[in-house]
Amino acid sequence: MSSTILISGGTLPDGKKSDLLIKDGVIAEIATAIKAEGAHTIDASKAILLPGLVDLHTHLREPGKEDAETVESGSRAGVKGGFTALSAMANTSPVADTAGVVEQVYRLGQSAGLLDVFPIGAVTRGLEGEHLAEIGAMADSVARVRVFSDDGHCVFDPLVMRRALEYVKKFDGVIAQHAQEPRLTQGSQMNEGIVSSQLGLKGWPAIAEEAIIARDVLLADHVQSRLHICHLTTAGGVEIIRWAKARGIDVTAEVTPHHLLLTDELARSYDPVFKVNPPLRTESDVMALREALADGTIDIVATDHAPHPAETKECEWQEASFGMLGLETALSIVNKTMVETGLMNWSTVAERMSYAPARIGRYSQQGQELAVGAPAHIAVMDPTQLFRVDRDLVASRSRNTPFHGMELPGQILATIFAGRVVFEGNHV
């Protein structure tokens, strides 16, 4: 394939129609009616051109859980969804709590070659919440880790959390907290509320999330360090983040696509595909999250892409694993919930799904505006083209998408990474 790519007639995030010429891995020209004989041409006349999407929160499972996902299969799912950078959470086996493991994940991403894979390092050894992991060694490693998280587990001990926040300051790192007070959520199965009471399933109360968020923003303020809140789900949590930002506390937050669309009413089916941590909440929570994403209280969209093999999801609800797929449908769901509703425009989508996550993760070669000289990381999407989600056609190794059978607006036509077409015409 030609190393020169012409994207013809696309609409930039600011609404302007333009062609993009890509040469040698960078954007060489932005203009109308560009002529490029011999170039690989992509017809974008009905498409929005976005900077390559950046996901700050995925579970790629490798090493140790390759039956659910590998770095390569997760990368394939990523480019199918318009992503050019994924951040891989630390709950692998072995846990990514040493320089050796994060370097392995980093090199697996390079070997796959479809997008940038940035390992996230564990905050504590073995995700056990007791002793700090090799944070400095991971930061100094080839992987240059800047995001640390025990996601799937909350760093519940306030002293350990304080020490972690203090430690990452020296290299401008950030702690990404899974906000869940464990004593309030033991044995929980879904959101605590009317539905959980009617179904007889143990509830996961909103206060368990909000209490940790409140504690941690105060800790971050006290030590003057960067804090990121993973998968915000409650209206109360939104208000705490809004208060913290008004005080000038250096906190950022993310929301997942599934928490922008789905509610706890879906648990009435007893289908474990809807079992996730933190759980699906109420309609009022969903509306609060949408408003907060629109006004910037919530900084980014992150998928929390969590693949699981069939045996851990196609079983009784109480026995099923928490988590759902998200990479291949994220942009379409944001289009449906935020753009088509008038809450956001495409410039804001670019900010929430590319620029801001790259800034938080300190990914210098990602999340850049589409401009001459910038790295050619680009997602080409037709926002009007509908597609039906089919769990049997996903690129992930797992099939646990909660959107199976849904018709969503917005088809990724092509994904370009470092000046190469890595996805086009439904082919990776």
Please identify every residue annotated as catalytic.
304
Burial class, 242, CB count within 10 angstroms (exposed 0-12 / middle 13-18 / buried 19+): middle
Choose among 206, 175, 97: nearest CA to 143.
97
Tell me the β-bridge partners of 227: 175, 251
Q: How far apart are CA 109 and CA 164, in angstroms?
A: 27
Provide the residue type at 385 as one letter.
Answer: Q
DSSP 74-108: HHHHHHHTTEEEEEE-S-SSS-S-SHHHHHHHHHH
Burial class, 152, CB count within 10 angstroms (exposed 0-12 / middle 13-18 / buried 19+): middle
Let me know: does 344 contact 293? Beta carbons within 8 Å.
yes
Neighbours of 15 (CB within 10 A): 10
Number of helices (H), then strands (E), belonging to the chain: the values are: 12, 18
Let me know: does 228 contact 298? Beta carbons within 8 Å.
no
Q: How far apart are CA 194 and CA 185, in angstroms?
A: 17
Gyration radius of the chain's alpha carbons: 20
Q: Residue 155 has which token pair?
A: 């760093």
Q: How far apart are CA 173 and CA 138, in angstroms?
A: 11
Provide the residue type at 114 as one letter.
Answer: L
Q: How far apart are CA 241 and CA 219, in angstroms?
A: 13
> How many residues does this entry show for the chain?
428
